[in-house]
Amino acid sequence: MPKLVDQADTAPADTPYAAHNQPKDTPELRSLYDAFDAEHLIPLWKEIGDLMPMEPSSRAHPHLWRWSTIHPLAAKSGDLVPVGRGGERRAIALANPGLGGRPYATPTLWAAIQYLGPRETAPEHRHTQNAFRFVVEGEGVWTVVNGDPVAMRRGDFLLTPGWNFHGHHNDTDSPMAWIDGLDIPFVHYTDTAFFEFGPDEVSTRETPERSRAERLWCHPGMRPLSALEPMHNSPIPAYRWEHTDRALSEQLALEDEGYPATVEPGHAAVRYTNPTTGGDVMSTIRAEFHRVRAGQQTVGRREVGSAVFQVFSGEGTVTLGDAQHRVGTGDLFVVPSWTTLSVQAETDLDLFRFADTPIFERLHQDRVEVDAPDGGLS
Ligand SMILES: [Fe+2]
């Protein structure tokens, strides 16, 4: 039953959202609360501080996972645990210590390291959860999406939007690891998940340099006249590192030449987009890539919704609210909702970022606050 509160232990007067006029504990009041409890009723005045806080106060922690720790554990699981039907994937999820032991990086986002050994195959399936892969090192795996084989290489960002069949196969004698990002917690919480098994083997073992979808869609500034309708999710299966790297390098080069190109001094950034809408790549997930020059510090920024970063290369320090972490290649960290993030680059620092922002923009619940360079807010 709800904890009884009398006037002696009401919240301090400087807590503006707590009830201040609680009655004394009497047998009648106790009886009322017992009746609430028996009927599965909870009075708002006991819960409002948690239900309607003055600003977002996430249960998720701004936690860091080191690649140098999680990669050997994934490799060990490759020795001990087979991949195949049922378990489906040798994927090990980041479980935010604030989220009750669930395999959730944030309240809405799943992030996992997936490991596929030499010549192994992860069977085909499809689900309504949106998914992507980001490759921090290695190559030699092809992800087959609706029968289209897509090569996975270092620095590539690869999409598997919801309800597309997909499996993976390693065509080499070396293992490969990458990260998976999905909207599993969001879909689970909203009871909207569907899942279907496909073949135990991938539908093709072809290993082309470029997938069919890339041959159709990946030509800068052009789209095929055979596909002019807007699509909810991007038809591009792989955003290749060579393009991301060049886009960021050119922003910094233009800045050096005195032209506006970067988001702030020494900070180049791109957002991966859906070429049929100009919007985010998938309906629930935003993905970006940031490059911060050595010696630069980014301005503090906080947003509604949560994000996960992976350091692609370089070293630096990230400040997340009151917490500071030194980070290096492969490290992953969480930015909970309304937590201010600032990045200090020691070397040139490349950061991959994904977030749940499209959900909140669609619902008009999005909000962003950026520190002014003088230390105030803008
Ligand atoms: Fe999947």
* Domains with residue ranges and CATH for the chain: 1-54 (no CATH), 63-217 (2.60.120.10), 238-370 (2.60.120.10)
Q: What integer is the mean pLDDT of 45-52? A: 84
Task: Output the CA–CA distances (angstroms, integers) from residue 361 to 84, 303, 354, in the order listed.
Answer: 37, 11, 15
The answer on pLDDT for 33 being more than 80 is yes
How far, in Å, from the CA of 165 to the mean position of ligand 1?
8
Per the CB < 8 A criterion, the answer to whether 89 and 114 are in contact is yes
- Percent of the chain predicted with pLDDT > 90: 86
Long-range (24+ apart) CB contacts under 8 A made by 278-283 are 279/358, 280/357, 280/358, 281/132, 281/159, 281/233, 281/234, 281/236, 282/130, 282/132, 282/159, 282/161, 282/162, 282/232, 282/233, 282/234, 282/358, 283/130, 283/232, 283/233, 283/358, 283/359, 283/362
| Per-residue model confidence as pLDDT tens digits over 340-362 | 999 999 999 999 999 999 999 99
| Per-residue model confidence as pLDDT tens digits over 65-123 | 999 999 999 999 999 998 887 778 999 999 999 999 999 999 999 999 999 999 999 99
How far, in Å, from the CA of 351 to the mean position of ligand 1?
24
How far, in Å, from the CA of 58 to the mean position of ligand 1?
27
The residue that leads in pLDDT, 136 or 20, is: 136
How far, in Å, from the CA of 264 to the mean position of ligand 1?
37
How far, in Å, from the CA of 197 to the mean position of ligand 1?
10
| Per-residue model confidence as pLDDT tens digits over 175-187 | 999 999 999 999 9
Residue 149: its H or E element: strand 148-153
How far, in Å, from the CA of 121 to the mean position of ligand 1?
13
Residue closest to 365 by CA, chosen among 290, 304, 308, 323: 304
Per the CB < 8 A criterion, the answer to whether 180 and 143 are in contact is no
Q: What is the pLDDT of residue 200?
A: 85
How far, in Å, from the CA of 55 to the mean position of ligand 1?
35
Q: What are phi and psi of 150, to 5 degrees?
A: -120, 120
As a whole number of angstroms, the distance between CA 45 and CA 93 comes to: 37
Q: What is the pLDDT of residue 15?
A: 47
How far, in Å, from the CA of 166 to the mean position of ligand 1?
6
How far, in Å, from the CA of 159 to the mean position of ligand 1?
11
Tokens 């994927």 identify what position?
91
How far, in Å, from the CA of 178 to the mean position of ligand 1?
14
276: Cβ contacts below 8 Å, ≥ 6 apart: 223, 227, 229, 230, 231, 234, 235
Q: What integer is the mean pLDDT of 279-300? A: 98
How far, in Å, from the CA of 122 to the mean position of ligand 1?
9
- CA–CA–CA angle 316, 264, 270 (5° rounding): 80
Q: What is the pLDDT of residue 103?
A: 97
Residue closest to 240 by CA, chosen among 158, 330, 138, 149: 158
| Per-residue model confidence as pLDDT tens digits over 220-247 | 999 999 999 999 999 999 999 999 999 9
Pick from 23-27, 123-127, 302-306: least confident:
23-27
As a whole number of angstroms, the distance between CA 104 and CA 184 comes to: 8
How far, in Å, from the CA of 223 to the mean position of ligand 1?
28
How far, in Å, from the CA of 195 to the mean position of ligand 1?
9
